[in-house]
Amino acid sequence: MTHRFFYAFLLLTLWLPWPWGSVLGWSVYLFCGASFSLLLWVLLQRPLMDLPHWQAEGSQPLRYLAYLWLALLGGLALQLIPLPANWVQTLSPARWAIVAPYGADWLPLSATPVETFQYWMLSAAYGAFFWVALHALSDRRRLRLFLWAVVINAVISTVYGVLVLLGGAAFEPIALLNTNNRVLSGPFVGRNNFAGFLALSASLGIGLLLAEMRPSGERTWREWLRDTLRLLLSRKVTLRLMIVILVAGLVLTRSRMGNTAFLSATCVAGFLWFLRSGGSRRLALILFVSFILVDVYIIGSVVGLDRVVERIQATETQSELRVDINADALEYGADYWAWGSGADSFDQVFPVYKSVYGSGLINQAHNEYLQFILELGVVLGVLTLAIGAFSAWQGGQALWRRKSRFYRSVALGSVMAFVYLAIHSTADFNLRIPANAALFVAIMALMWRARYTPSKGSRTGSSL
């Protein structure tokens, strides 16, 4: 029964980017239903308090994470519940000032209750998805299978995007993408969001590649030749080629911050692995230099890295729309700093503060940190960031403390993905795309699993 449950989870993960890249409303509800159903499936087999990861060593930090998530859901519910007008006047004077002329006695803190409810439902579904992932990825074999599935799925998405890019509408059977946009966007509408999906997947692929490799000592030339031939026939080469495809796809998106953040995250990951790899530091140095030189520079130059560089050099800060958004958002934030204007309400509230016209509809702040504060307020915004940071801390602990090379490698790939998203979030909104957000939630589960899942044959290892 358990293996069937795992493959149901795996199929759901594989399916994620295809309908969600086009931001279809029905796919959001479909994911929520699937996540809640899978969690119910787990609970019907074993109650929550009886699950292995709730009773094992290391469960106390996991409980803290659960409390943070429940507190976030409670705070979002507070934005939805109609409150007495005098309470709203105290908690959010700007919100009360809008409805005061109409004499409302009860009103919610959110300016857009319908959108906030959908945000609350998605947040609950992400929580369910996290617990499902934590339960499903219960051993080394399943972790490896999941990582392979993520990388293969990203490669398929890249190939599909290239076909659409080269063939136009003839290769776009679902007729949802803008085939006139001559950049790679895969099954996503936005190229920057597809860049985020590829970078997260490539980060996990690098972690998997490190897990598959084994350091070797001094060898004779015959042993070296034998090992080289064995390497060429192994799945490591296939995985390495897949990572090259993902990086090439990332360059083809022409995403400035996407490529910059990935290069930065690769350098950070290489430095951390160099510090932690001990006797195999030379191998680690060669491997990450190859990632930067071969993947980013050589392959990137073939598929058009120069165009990305030109876009970065041509960027004029004063004329960037995102800078204008940040300037106007200061006034916005001054009015809603405490409890926010309501989750997913930015596109409805921001036009009131917009000072630059003629630039079209602005439905996102293009800065995750800023938008969290504007929509959720300081309290819930910091709480949201704390959930991700707490999981990243567990990944860092796994990288630094685990003796198992496999779990250290999984932790490194997860931490690299976190660093990438932390940088890219300063200029984009990947977490607003459910496919990327769900993948990030799965990466959070990987961090916890890498930290506490015992090594094979370990008598004292912690487990979730």
What are the boundaries of each domain within the chain? 2-452
How do residues 334-354 score in pLDDT, each as one tens digit? 888 888 888 888 888 888 877
Question: What average pLDDT does this structure show over 445-452?
Answer: 92
Question: What average pLDDT does this structure show over 171-192?
Answer: 68
Confidence bin at 223 (pLDDT 50/70/90): low
How do residues 297-334 score in pLDDT, each as one tens digit? 655 565 555 565 555 555 544 445 555 666 778 888 88
Does 123 score more than 90 pLDDT?
Answer: yes
pTM for this entry: 0.87
Residue 380 identity: L
pLDDT of residue 450: 92
What mean pLDDT is reported for the chain? Answer: 79
Does 49 score more than 50 pLDDT?
Answer: no
Confidence bin at 183 (pLDDT 50/70/90): confident
Question: What average pLDDT does this structure show over 392-413?
Answer: 92
Percent of the chain with pLDDT over 70: 74
* Burial grade of 387 (CB within 10 A; 0-12, 13-18, 19 or more): buried
